[in-house]
Structure 1
Amino acid sequence: MPAGSSKKRERQYEQIKDNAQEHGVSERRAKEIAARAVNKERARSGESEQASKPSNRDAKSAPQCGGERSHRGSGGPTKEQLYQEAKKKNIDGRSQMNKDELRKAVGR
């Protein structure tokens, strides 16, 4: 954490770092993820002296987007993401469907 960070940002950093480690990320990578997330939030809220254009360009902050960007990857949404979407829509037979069938069933 940069010197002079608020207690809120320090708690946020620790929470993100701990969560990443719980999901099997190495300590070094977890620290990097946490630092980047906190620094982006600091830039967006005007707490930092400098802010990159991408930090200020996004319409939503990382916690608000909730993984929406993961749907745009090279393979699109994962089978699990498609399954959860099918579950929300109460699509019958979803547990027996493969990824392509789930994609068609949810209309992607």
Structure 2
Amino acid sequence: MPAGSNAKRERQYEHIKEGAEKRGASEKRAKEIASRTVNKERARSGEAKSSSRTSIMDPKSASQRGGERSHSGSQGPTKDQLYNEAKKKNIEGRSSMNKQELRKALGH
């Protein structure tokens, strides 16, 4: 945690870090996620010495967004996930297909 943070931010940091670890993130990645989230919240509330424009201008806080911008959003399943589904359905030629072709073959 950054110097000068208060008890609420310490609790928030621990809560976010533990949640990320439960979802399978490494300890290093969980700390990074928690730090970035808490720092953004500190910037939004005026507790930080400096802050980026997106930290301040963003209409929703990270907790309100609830993962709206996470990488699993609108892009759907990964190529590996599509490939595994195609493998289960015995789709021929799946090993040479790209993500778009796998989607089409599976009807996604």
Task: Identify the TM-score tier after normalising by the shorter chain.
Answer: 0.5 to 0.7
**Compared CA separation, residues 58 and 75, structure 1 to 2 (3 A):** closer
- Aligned-residue sequence identity (percent) comes to 61
Q: TM-score if structure 2 supplies the norm length?
A: 0.65
Matches within 5 A, 1:50-69: 50-69=50-69
- TM-aligned CA deviation for residue 67 of structure 1: 2.2
Deviation at 1:68, TM superposition (A): 2.3
2:74 aligned partner: 76
CA RMSD across the alignment: 2.2
Q: Following superposition of structure 1 onto structure 2, how do residues 23-102 of structure 1 map, counting pairs within 5 Å?
A: 23-70=23-70, 76=74, 78=76, 100=108
Offset of 1:74 from its aligned partner?
9.3
Distance in 1, matches of 2:56 and 2:69, equals 16
Structure with higher helix content: 1
Q: How many Å separate the matches in 2 of 1:99 and 1:11?
A: 45
- Give CA-to-partner distance per residue, 1:45-88, whole Å, 9 cap, x none: 00011011111121000010112234xx6972537xxxxxxxxx
C-alpha distance in structure 2 between counterparts of 1:38 and 1:8, whole Å: 10
Structure 1 distance, partners of 2:64, 2:12, is 15
The amino acid across from 1:59 in the alignment is P
**Could you say if the C-alpha distance between residues 14 and 99 of structure 1 is closer, same or farther in structure 2, counting changes exceeding 3 Å?**
farther
Q: Equivalent residue of 2:69, what SS?
A: helix
Q: Which runs of 4+ in 1 moved over 6 A?
A: none
What is the distance in 1 between the residues matched to 2:60 and 2:51?
A: 16
Amino acid paired to 1:41: E
Larger radius of gyration: 2
In the alignment of these two chains, the number of paired residues is 80
* Structure 1: distance between partners of 2:26 and 2:51: 27
